[in-house]
Amino acid sequence: MNAKTSFIIGLALLSAMPLFAGDKNKKDLQRGMLEKMDAVPCGAKQKGLSGLGSFWGSAGITHINSDEKLCPQYLLRTDQMDYEIRPTNLKHAVLLPVGQEGEFTIKNNEMLLSAPEHGIRKMRSYEIVSMTPTNTNTSASGSSYDEGEKSSNLRQDDEH
């Protein structure tokens, strides 16, 4: 009877472990505001015989049909950083709601993003194009470069 009770307790603990792991992942999510979306060129599709080299070029066959592809690029703003992101899979890309909040995490050099308040609950993969800190203000005392200029100006004034 004692072994049966300990087996049931152990089974209950093992079944409850995934529930605790799920709560930890929810806490790791960061929130940011989707500020804007731009359509930027992300490559060109080329159809034709240009890749076959000089043999076809010498024969006078140089016709190429090229269409410039445009990709959505979003600005995701957090308290600490501004992220410029693009979807990694354009075939299954979803337009994100600009002006809404999104939840994201960064794993393996990519951002996993969702917008649950807008109904996009699935975490989708995005490429981080650039990261810019939002606190670009310098301190009130100024940088060391400014202080160097001030001291050189003072020396020039003393000479006159």
The 10s digit of each residue's pLDDT in 98-152 is: 999 999 999 888 999 998 887 888 899 999 999 999 875 544 444 444 444 444 5
What mean pLDDT is predicted for residues 17-43? 75
CA dist 24 and 18 (Å) reads 10
Whether the model pTM is above 0.85: no
CB 64 within 8 A of CB 57: no
In a domain, 122, yes or no: yes
In a domain, 125, yes or no: yes
User: What integer pLDDT is reported at residue 82 of this predicted model?
Assistant: 95
Residue with the bigger pLDDT between 69 and 79: it is 79
User: What integer pLDDT is reported at residue 104 of this predicted model?
Assistant: 94
In a domain, 133, yes or no: yes
- Three-state DSSP class for residue 135: coil
What is the CA 61 to chain-centroid distance, rounded? 42
Residue range(s) defining the domain that contains residue 91: 29-40+72-137
- Residue 17: pLDDT band by 50, 70, 90 thresholds? low
In a domain, 87, yes or no: yes
Most confidently modeled range among 23-32, 35-44, 132-141: 35-44
In a domain, 63, yes or no: no
CB 124 within 8 A of CB 132: no
Number of domains in the chain: 1
What mean pLDDT is predicted for residues 9-18? 68
Residue with the bigger pLDDT between 77 and 93: it is 77
- Residue 60: pLDDT band by 50, 70, 90 thresholds? low
In a domain, 67, yes or no: no
In a domain, 8, yes or no: no
End-to-end Cα distance, the chain: 101
In a domain, 128, yes or no: yes
Beta bridge pairs of residue 42: none
